Structure 1
């Protein structure tokens, strides 16, 4: 029997249903708090760990670190619930011969839709209008809430993976010119994904809207700092549905408060949820959401289904995962999987 372990964070029921129905596979759900001994015992016997991608949903001791891997010698694979791997030390997994899988693209439609929603909310000043209508103040005119259209503007996308590709398509549907930067794509592939390939400097200089869709890693942490915001076009807006830490929150606040940027739409934060006293939440031209870009019924069901199917393919056939995050691990991981499961 192969054992899959997960913790008791919310996961669409499709995951449990698919894994539990598979012959030769058991599923154990462990408590995040209050039963550590039982959780460690389960992890020590597990072949696969299904883990949340959200860093603030899980106590740090359950993050996939070198220390955890040392206590889990039978572990063959770690599966993220989303496209991000903030709770997984990918390099440590590679050194240990452990496969890391994600669900890249599973929630791309949901994230792209919210990114466009944030753009509209900021430019059309939707939250400001809503707040005024709910207040006792009535000394304002429609012109006091005048905003801007998306059509004719330039959208700059940082990271043109599956979500970036879908955001580009929505941007074009609204009549925007789309620029893109992604070190993994050449000019031809960027064009095929609906964006004109440019450097980051050019994207910041030309874009009316800069939207982040890149992963959080060593090369992107702090990417949008004070210098980057200063390089953005005066009066432009910033949107992120990527990950907290890629943009500097203090630098962004300064850029908006000074009037250099018109506003921002933020779904991701250094701390999630951010404290109510956060300086960015006090700005009327910042539209804030709680890392919900990929949290729709459709996206959660899709990601859970993709994760379960990918796990079962690995356990039953030893197939190379379609969404393998650390491809360098595969030769060694394949040998470990064959030895453990007889493939």
Structure 2
């Protein structure tokens, strides 16, 4: 092993092979692989030496003892960075990482095209009632095609909650393809910033819900957004509106959504994310013909996975070379991180 070797590890898999290929070109970087069921005798030596952890983004696919919380961090004395496999960071506790002097980065924007196209696919399929008509034709029963009369999306209004990488691309597609009115609720961006992305800023979430024909959730899962869409919010939506989420389970209340659909407070929903993934086959939301579902696959396209892996490798190499990463999720850690980096790797990263 080369002098001053930097140790990176991952569990189960990475987004795509290109990540490993790019790191393999560097003789000063060694990569270890663990599995969810790796014995402690295999895990402990890796954790003890690791400088970086390329961590999975799905809570359901990564055992708790290998998620980025204090119990793991306390076993990693040399760990400098937690880098998620995607835009989400559900498997990492930012406060715990910051307290440990560990930087956290994600790959935001790497799968924006795949996710934004999924939003569009759901919006169109719901509006045209494609799933309902497909089921009716396959059932062998009688039906009247007029029962499947849908709506054009041309010129209608989409409300985007969280106008980051994905939300911006959704706005671009809706405005450009269908000349839709685009409104966005994002308390972390100014009206000018949102206007530059082709949308109008909604002053409140309630304003957006009352105006939109389609509501698309595109924000991260945080303490602020958890449970953001509940019974009161679904009641504020228009009765002909559709709710679409490709963000994270837990941002919307699944029981409240089922109740809203039962009461016909909204017309339908497109769901790619769930509180528990995959949801059980008897989940109440799977019983509705006007609910289009997928198992958190919006960002799983060949192109998106390749792009995420490439971004992750580039960012990891920059970090280990002492550069400040562009997707740092806990910037307040930087001073403590720099001190730890210098003590562990022997040189100081950029200010």
Q: 1:63-74 residue pairs with structure 2 within 5 A? A: 63-74=67-78
C-alpha separation between the residues in 2 aligned to 1:11 and 1:43? 21
Q: Deviations over 1:207-264 (max 9, x none)?
A: 1111000110000000000001011112211000010000000000111111110000
Relative to structure 1, the CA distance from residue 238 to residue 221 in structure 2 (aligned partners, 3 Å threshold; closer, same or farther) is: same
1:184 aligns with 2:188: yes
1:37 aligns with 2:28: no
1:285 aligns with 2:290: yes
Q: Report how many aligned residue pairs link the two structures.
A: 341
Instruction: Report the CA distance between 1:183 and its aligned residue.
Output: 1.3
Instruction: Report the CA distance between 1:103 and its aligned residue.
Output: 0.2
Q: 1:61-210 residue pairs with structure 2 within 5 A? A: 61-137=65-141, 139-172=142-175, 173-198=177-202, 199-210=204-215
Instruction: Identify the range of structure 1 (242-251 vs 13-22) with the bigger mean alpha-carbon deviation.
Output: 13-22
Q: What secondary structure does 1:211 align onto? A: strand
Q: What secondary structure does 2:220 align onto? A: coil
Instruction: Report the CA distance between 1:76 and its aligned residue.
Output: 0.3
Instruction: Please give the TM-score of this superposition, normalised by the length of structure 2.
Output: 0.95
Match of 1:60 in 2: 64
Runs of 4 or more consecutive aligned structure 1 residues displaced over 6 Å after TM superposition:
none
Q: What secondary structure does 2:61 align onto? A: coil
Instruction: Report the CA distance between 1:335 and its aligned residue.
Output: 1.9
Match of 2:218 in 1: 213
Instruction: Report the CA distance between 1:146 and its aligned residue.
Output: 1.1
Q: Deviations over 1:260-287 (max 9, x none)?
A: 1000000000010101101100000000
Instruction: Report the CA distance between 1:141 and its aligned residue.
Output: 3.0
RMSD: 1.0
Q: Is the 8 A contact 2:14 2:309 kept in 1?
A: no
Match of 1:13 in 2: 17
Q: Is the 8 A contact 2:315 2:325 kept in 1?
A: yes
Q: Is the 8 A contact 1:9 1:57 kept in 2?
A: no
Instruction: Report the CA distance between 1:310 and its aligned residue.
Output: 0.7
Gaps of 5+ in 1: none
1:233 aligns with 2:247: no
Instruction: Please give the TM-score of this superposition, normalised by the length of structure 1.
Output: 0.97
Match of 2:338 in 1: 334
Instruction: Report the CA distance between 1:8 and its aligned residue.
Output: 1.3
C-alpha separation between the residues in 1 aligned to 2:41 and 2:243? 45
Match of 1:253 in 2: 258
C-alpha separation between the residues in 1 aligned to 2:312 and 2:293? 29
Q: Is the 8 A contact 1:100 1:326 kept in 2?
A: yes
Instruction: Report the CA distance between 1:120 and its aligned residue.
Output: 1.0
C-alpha separation between the residues in 1 aligned to 2:289 and 2:191? 38
C-alpha separation between the residues in 2 aligned to 1:299 and 1:287? 22
C-alpha separation between the residues in 1 aligned to 2:101 and 2:276? 31
C-alpha separation between the residues in 2 aligned to 1:43 and 1:79? 15
Gaps of 5+ in 2: none
Instruction: Report the CA distance between 1:338 and its aligned residue.
Output: 2.1
Q: What secondary structure does 1:155 align onto? A: strand
Instruction: Report the CA distance between 1:10 and its aligned residue.
Output: 5.3
Instruction: Report the CA distance between 1:171 and its aligned residue.
Output: 1.1
Q: 1:260-299 residue pairs with structure 2 within 5 A? A: 260-299=265-304
Q: What secondary structure does 2:229 align onto? A: coil
Instruction: Report the CA distance between 1:337 and its aligned residue.
Output: 1.4
Identify which of 2, 13, 25 aligns with 2:29: 25
C-alpha separation between the residues in 2 aligned to 1:272 and 1:188? 37
Q: Is the 8 A contact 1:81 1:304 kept in 2?
A: yes
